[in-house]
Amino acid sequence: MKIVCAETVLLAQEAFSLAGKTVVIPDREITRDDLFDADALIVRSKTKINADLISGTPVKFVGTATAGTDHIDSDALGKRGIYWCAAPGCNANSVSEYLVAALLVLRRRHGYDLEGKTIGVIGCGNVGSRVVKKCHALGMNVLRNDPPLAAVSADPDFLPLEHVLAESDIVTLHIPLVKTGPWPTERLADYLFFEQLKPGAIFINAARGSVCDYDALLAAKAGGAVAQTVIDVWNPEPAFRPDVLKLADLASPHIAGHSYEGKLNGTIACYNELCNFFELRKSWDIAASLPQPDVPHIEIDCNGRSDEEVLYEIIGQIYDIETDDRLIRDASVQNEVDRARNFDALRKSYRTRREFKNTELTLNNAATALRHKAKALGFIVREA
Ligand SMILES: NC(=O)c1ccc[n+]([C@@H]2O[C@H](COP(=O)([O-])OP(=O)(O)OC[C@H]3O[C@@H](n4cnc5c(N)ncnc54)[C@H](O)[C@@H]3O)[C@@H](O)[C@H]2O)c1
Ligand SMILES: O=C(O)[C@H](O)[C@H](O)COP(=O)(O)O
């Protein structure tokens, strides 16, 4: 069996060479010619899977090691009887940790408390539901909007979008890019969306660039309707817009889901599906692929400090989101081709970022509430 893998699939050789001959190719350079004798194709989001790429090839299985699937033309695969799978939820915890890190940095820069603020979560699936939990843990009021989920659940707490926008101090998007059907999300954040926002709100997009009309966001920022923004996803990518970068308080090159675990979970999901599909024995020793965390333990004196200040300091040591912000600003050169190349290069060379669960905390002089918060955010907390 031959498996073609995109270069950014984490541990592609370690996993897939156990199943067959594995050829690794840069994500944007995979062509139909590369697939002339391939049985399976494993990608992430940069490889567009469409009729041009797969027609006339013997590919029977396509896996994407990502949560988002908008780069896959499922009709084109379906018509050719090609099985495909994604990795739902693989990086949901990573994105929720990105969001917590971003909120704690904004809070510090602008001098407010997160506790008591209202956050509107648009899209409450794998990512959004984790964001809801972490924001509750931080003492925030959480308003949820998810019409597709509301339609099938008995939960009365899902609210209409306009209600959430009018009441929230912070609005964060965790929706897929959907172009058709009853609940399309393309340009969901348009001029009307920003008009409906509570004036001076904070806007966060770590979903997909195309769910936001960035011209509308620029206008909302200029008019004061939006006070602060966090932007991880761009339209277009990889040639991100420097004017949008300038307006962002925190920016990053589409890496919210790029914790080590987030990427590894994506590979694991594809590996398992591939083995099931081709009826192969699973022999990958995944535990052996996990590196030791850089920061296994943090001891901190909490005496006389607010919970949010302590959490800011802890999280800054594990995931310094301001480094991502600095790197994308350095990458924002005038020439569009170079800017796009820089964006891809930042993502490809992304540092190993481990999730909070790998760090044990010793919280000296901490109140019980802070211990609970730290646990709910995912840390291991050493007993007092
Ligand atoms: N920035 C990153 O690195 C990163 C990482 C992971 C996922 N993502 C993006 O975030 C999206 C969400 O990820 P997920 O894992 O939570 O997906 P998911 O499918 O688990 O959840 C998406 C939720 O959005 C809801 N939804 C759909 N249309 C909606 C609408 N019009 N209004 C409100 N809610 C709507 C769905 O009902 C679902 O509950 C992905 O599709 C992907 O595009 C980005
Ligand atoms: O949809 C997803 O899972 C994320 O957006 C993911 O982080 C995309 O990452 P990429 O495949 O571009 O590395």
Respond yes or no on whether ipTM tops 0.90: yes
Predicted confidence (pLDDT) at residue 289 exceeds the cutoff of 90: no
Predicted confidence (pLDDT) at residue 93 exceeds the cutoff of 90: yes
Q: Which CATH architecture has domain 2-86+259-284?
A: 3-Layer(aba) Sandwich (3.40)
Which residues have CB under 8 Å from 122's CB, separation 6+? Answer: 128, 145, 146, 161, 164, 171, 172, 173, 174, 175, 188
- Whole-number Å distance, alpha carbon 100 to ligand 1 midpoint, is 17
Predicted confidence (pLDDT) at residue 154 exceeds the cutoff of 90: no
- Whole-number Å distance, alpha carbon 266 to ligand 2 midpoint, is 9
- The residue nearest atom 5 of ligand 2, judged by CA position, is 68
Length of the chain: 384
Least reliable range by pLDDT among 56-60, 103-107, 282-286, 289-293 = 289-293
Q: What is the mean pLDDT of the chain?
A: 98
Q: What is the pLDDT of residues 178-208, one digit of tens each?
A: 999 999 999 999 999 999 999 999 999 999 9
Residue 383: its pLDDT value, please?
85
Whole-angstrom distance, CA of residue 339 vs CA of residue 332: 6
**Could you tell me if residue 48 is left (phi over 0), alpha (psi between -120 and 50 degrees) or otherwise beta?**
beta
Taking Cα atoms as reference points, which of 38, 77, 91 lies closest to residue 260?
91
* Cis peptide bond upstream of 156, omega within 30: no
How is the chain split into domains, by residue range?
2-86+259-284, 92-251, 292-319+354-384
- Whole-number Å distance, alpha carbon 108 to ligand 2 midpoint, is 28
Residue 156: its pLDDT value, please?
87
Q: Is 44 in the pocket of ligand 2 (CB under 6 A)?
A: yes
Q: Give the count of alpha carbons within 13 A of 35, CB side only.
A: 25
Q: Categorize the per-residue pLDDT at 127 as very low, low, confident or very high, splitting at 50, 70 and 90.
A: very high
Residue with tokens 């156990």: 18
Task: Say how many Å lie between the first and final Cα of the chain, rounded.
Answer: 55
Give percent of the chain above pLDDT 70: 100
Taking Cα atoms as reference points, which of 37, 75, 77, 40 lies closest to residue 55?
77
3.40.50.720, 3.40.50.300, 3.40.50.970, 3.40.50.2000: which CATH number matches 92-251?
3.40.50.720
Identify the burial level of 164 via C-beta atoms within 10 angstroms of its C-beta, where 0-12 means exposed, 13-18 middle and 19 or more buried.
Answer: buried
Taking Cα atoms as reference points, which of 224, 359, 372, 345 lies closest to residue 292?
359
Full-model pTM: 0.98
Residue 41: its pLDDT value, please?
99
Quick one: tokens of 357?
Answer: 């669960």
